[in-house]
Amino acid sequence: MRRVIFASVLFLSISCLLLLYQWEDFEQAAPNKHGSLPSPTINIDIKILENTYVIHYTFEEWLPGTYEVSFPEESRMIRCSHDSLKEKDNSTAEWEFTGEEQLSYELPFENQDKLTEWNLKFRQGERYVKPEYKLSLEDYSQMEHTWVGVTSKKSDIRKDLVRYYQFEKTNRIHYPLVLLKDSSKKVWRSGEWVVTYPSSSPISEDTKRYIRALENQYQPALVELNQESAAPSGGYLPVKSVSQIEHALFLQQIKSLYPDASREWAIPVLSQLFFDKSLTEMERSQAMAGDILVVFSEEEVETIKQKLLRTDASSTLVTKVDELLSQVYGMQTTFFSQNKESGSYVPLYFHHSKPVISPDQTMEEDAVELGREMYLPLKPLLNLAGYSFTPFPKDKLFLVELPGRSYRFFLNRSTFIMNEQEFGLATDLLRKVDGRIFMKRHYVEELLNINVAERENSIIVQKK
């Protein structure tokens, strides 16, 4: 009996394939009006059996050469028709393509209503290959329900033992598939974007406009509304409400663009910065996001976000954020890099590229900016001026003596002592940065009688 069923399934599968490939050949018979070369294409055939996804790849217009192939984590039964795969580690292999190879693998059918992060990724050298995908799906297990993907269906044929789908081709690296087990769910499409929603909560025109605006910033996705929030995966975004869509899109795209390990601690900072300004996550995330929001306007923060999403991923996430903060502000910072490597918290500051000079010499250390205020290195500044300076690091106390006047300055205090008895108030008088003590420009001029003048190519300091 089992042999009869298997033979019937095989016959029906082949019949469907022949029918649909005839349609495909007919569509491709028209000449290419622009005369351009055909794009590399992958034909993917997915068979959904009782407890397994069987996934088969064939290649068209694919350039011969050596590729690195990344497999899904749960892959098993990996096969190559010409035995040209050489395993590098548990998830990647080196593949020598000569023109006729085919690849196949299996995935366990643990999640019966969705398929994400399932497709292979190909890299040649440092660049990922972005082919066009032609996807066919044969479902022998859930025939009474329909599958949806990020492109619309060209066909949906149901036979006794199989339901066969063919989808419009796409060049997107992610291709999530979702089985609509709930017959009351509705589907709304906009380009390659797909949104499923309960029929009891129709999508408003405002929501449609909002999603269309996101299409200009993010890669296409399959969004399921009214779902318990979960981590986005492979272009699939389950969200409870419309307001969560962009945050989920951002997380997915950043993780896709920046695969480096540093993102695991940097992403909470960016989430806090761009989306969760009123929430408190990790203490450091909140502090770092707060430092950035003090310095940058809403428009500048939005500019940083947009540039972060358009990168070519040639650097790590930490390096890229520092690069963008520096670019938008106009001065150099290593804010994220320092907090990645440092045990103690390093505040956001920027290096002045202009040298600090006096009439007699050039200071070896640069001035910095914190909170859009200039700070100058205290000890080199006092040396230039010829003032006496005695630090007491244990007490976070610094004794400074001028002609006829002496000061006791304290780190992290808004008061100071003048001439051993008089108290003064000074907000953010001293700041410690990279183990060095800096004094705010205003108090350098007011308390130390040193003029500070910023010129086009230098910062000039001179005693009054």
DSSP string, 213-260: HHTTTS---EEESS------BTTEEE-SSGGGHHHHHHHHHHHHH--S
pTM: 0.76
Looking at the chain, how many residues does it have?
464
Q: What is the pLDDT of residue 217?
A: 85
- Hey, is 314 helix, strand or coil? coil
Q: What is the pLDDT of residue 277?
A: 60
Strands of the 236-238 sheet, one edge to the other: 185-190, 193-198, 222-224, 236-238
Pairing of strands 450-454, 436-440: unpaired
Cα 273 to Cα 279: distance, rounded to the nearest angstrom: 10
Paired strand residues for 391: 398
10 Å Cβ neighbour count for 463?
A: 14
User: Bigger pLDDT: 259 or 287?
Assistant: 287
In our burial notation (b when 16+ CB lie closer than 10 A, e otherwise), range 209-225 reads: eebeebeeebbbbbbbb
Distances (CA, A) of 27 to 30, 240, 358, 388: 7, 40, 77, 86
- Work out the mean pLDDT of the chain and round it to a whole number: 84
Q: Is the dihedral of CA 91, 95, 97, 101 positive or negative?
A: negative
Three-state secondary structure string covering 148-198: EECCCEEEEEECCCCEEEEECCECCCCCCEEEECCCCEEEEEECCEEEEEE
The pLDDT value recorded for residue 111 is 65
CA distance 388 to 402: 7
Q: Which of 178-182, 183-187, 328-332, 337-341 has the highest mean pLDDT?
A: 328-332
Residue 179 tokens read as 């089985």
What secondary structure letter does DSSP report for 119? Answer: S
Predicted confidence (pLDDT) per residue in 222-242, tens digit: 999 988 766 778 889 898 888
How far apart CA 352 and CA 344 sit, in angstroms, is 23
Single-letter residue type at 372: R
| Residues contacting 281, CB < 8 A, separation 6+ | 268, 271, 272
The reported pLDDT for the residue numbered 23 is 38
Please state whether beta strands 356-357 and 459-463 pair in parallel, antiparallel, or not at all (unpaired). Answer: parallel
354-403 pLDDT per residue, tens = 989 887 788 888 999 999 999 999 999 998 888 998 988 887 889 999 98
Q: What does the DSSP 8-state code read for residue 99?
A: S
- Position 315 pLDDT exceeds 60: yes
Mean pLDDT of the region 438-457:
92
Structure confidence at residue 38 as a pLDDT band (50, 70, 90): low
Q: Residue 308 — very low, low, confident or very high, per pLDDT cuts 50/70/90?
A: very high
Give the model's pLDDT for residue 16.
47
Radius of gyration of the chain (CA): 31
CB atoms within 10 A of CB 368: 23
- What's the pLDDT score for residue 220? 86
* Per-residue model confidence as pLDDT tens digits over 145-176: 999 998 889 999 998 899 999 999 888 878 89
DSSP string, 34-83: T-PPPPPEEEEEEEE-SSEEEEEEEEESPPPEEEEEEPPTT-EEEEETT-
State the Cα torsion 223-228-233-236 to the nearest 10°: -20
The pLDDT, as a whole number, for residue 3 is 36
CA distance 311 to 317: 10
Output the pLDDT for position 31. Answer: 41
- Proportion of the chain above pLDDT 90, given as a percent: 42
| Cβ 112 vs Cβ 179: under 8 Å | yes
Q: What is the pLDDT of residues 44-88, one digit of tens each?
A: 999 998 889 999 999 998 989 999 999 988 888 999 988 888 888
HSE, side-chain direction, 13 A CA sphere, residue 178: 25
pLDDT at 312: 62
Q: Side chain identity at 348, as an amino acid letter?
A: L
Say which DSSP state 428 is in.
T
Nearest to 251 by CA among 235, 261, 322: 235
